[in-house]
């Protein structure tokens, strides 16, 4: 079993759901990224998603795009991100996964990226721009190394294709809640719960829902059908406030925000 498999088995046995925050690596710097991840886990997050900045993000909204731009402008490098993860993950009680473009994985080399990520304590890869038809080689390497390859299913994914994606996925399925890009929203689609309920009948894999989740009412709506909830833009937006607020204050606000979402799950 991979680290993510063990996590969701423990959550299932205890009747709990995962909260998975997203953090951009290197925004505003890697030291603060590590501090944020520590705080998120201290306040009850079950797993953290570490975004590897990329110049051409596929589905990220303006908040996350801006964070990537800031990190890249400061010269962030993949090696530095993995080095930071390698120092950080041994002290954490929850796994870390990377959200990374396939272009970055391919440029480093599939075998090398998975080896480097595993060596840095990364438990899984989310590769949003990797089509299921082309995922075989990376899937094989990840399976051999016990690194989860987490793939995405969207509201517009045809059901037969969704089944193929589920067959190639390990760890958990990332279910995209809305058609469009990441970002905080006031409302989520009315058919979201029904769509996830259908998918749950088709696969034993845990299902985590992301995109647009930012409020306790979203959590209350989705936690009955989800195994985990992914929150990104709302946290990245708060991190960006370090330009105007003391970092200690921003950390406290992020911790309180996450605690409020977790309370809605329970």
Maximum separation of any 2 CA atoms in the chain, in Å: 50
| CATH number for 138 | 3.20.20.70
Q: Is 38 exposed, middle or buried (0-12, 13-18, 19+ CB in 10 A)?
A: middle
195 is a domain residue: no
DSSP label at 241?
G
Active site residue 60: yes
Q: How far is CA 129 from the centre of its chain?
A: 14
Q: Which of 60, 91, 146, 184 is catalytic?
A: 60
Number of domains the chain contains: 1
Q: Tens-of-pLDDT digits for all 266 residues of the chain? A: 899 999 999 999 999 999 999 999 999 999 999 999 999 999 999 999 999 999 887 766 789 999 999 999 999 999 999 999 999 999 999 999 999 999 999 999 999 999 999 999 999 999 999 999 999 999 999 999 999 999 999 888 999 999 999 999 999 999 997 654 454 444 555 678 888 889 999 999 999 998 778 889 888 888 888 999 999 889 999 999 998 999 999 999 999 999 999 999 85
254 is a domain residue: yes
User: For residues 210 and 92, what is the distance between their CA atoms, to the nearest angstrom?
Assistant: 23
159 is a domain residue: no
- From residue 66, alpha-carbon distances to 36, 62, 241 in Å are 18, 6, 13
Residue located via tokens 């997203």: 22
At 165, list the tokens.
């994606």
User: For residues 41 and 229, what is the distance between their CA atoms, to the nearest angstrom?
Assistant: 14
Q: Which of 27, 49, 116, 227 is catalytic?
A: 49
User: For residues 7 and 2, what is the distance between their CA atoms, to the nearest angstrom?
Assistant: 9
pTM above 0.85, yes or no: yes
User: For residues 210 and 169, what is the distance between their CA atoms, to the nearest angstrom?
Assistant: 16
Domain of residue 145, residue span: 3-151+229-265
52 is a domain residue: yes
203 is a domain residue: no
Helix or strand or coil: residue 22? strand
177 is a domain residue: no
Active site residue 256: no
216 is a domain residue: no
250 is a domain residue: yes
Residues 4 and 214: beta-carbon distance below 8 Å: no
């Amino acid at each position: 079993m991979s680290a993510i498999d063990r996590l969701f088995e423990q959550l299932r046995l205890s009747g709990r759901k995962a909260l998975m925050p997203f953090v951009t690596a290197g925004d505003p710097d890697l030291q603060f990224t590590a501090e944020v991840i520590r705080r998120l886990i201290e306040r009850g997050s079950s797993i953290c998603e570490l975004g590897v900045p990329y110049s051409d993000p596929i589905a990220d909204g303006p908040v996350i795009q801006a964070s990537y731009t800031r990190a890249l402008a400061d010269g962030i490098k993949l090696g530095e991100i993995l080095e930071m993860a390698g120092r950080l993950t041994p002290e954490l009680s929850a796994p870390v996964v990377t959200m990374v473009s396939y272009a970055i994985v391919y440029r480093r080399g599939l075998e090398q990226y998975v080896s480097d990520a595993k060596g840095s304590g990364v438990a899984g890869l989310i590769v949003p721009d990797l089509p299921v038809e082309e995922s075989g080689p990376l899937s094989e390497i990840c399976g051999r190394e016990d690194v989860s390859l987490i793939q995405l299913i969207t509201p517009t994914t045809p059901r037969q294709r969704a089944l193929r994606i589920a067959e190639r996925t390990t760890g958990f399925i990332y279910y995209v809640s809305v058609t469009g890009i990441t970002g905080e929203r006031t409302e989520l689609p009315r058919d979201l719960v029904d769509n996830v309920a259908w998918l749950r009948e088709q696969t034993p894999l845990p299902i985590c829902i992301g995109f647009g989740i930012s409020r306790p009412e979203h959590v209350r709506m989705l936690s009955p059908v989800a195994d985990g909830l992914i929150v990104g833009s709302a946290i990245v937006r708060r991190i960006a406030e370090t330009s105007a607020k003391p970092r200690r204050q921003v950390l406290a606000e992020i911790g309180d925000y996450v605690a409020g979402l977790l309370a809605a799950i329970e």
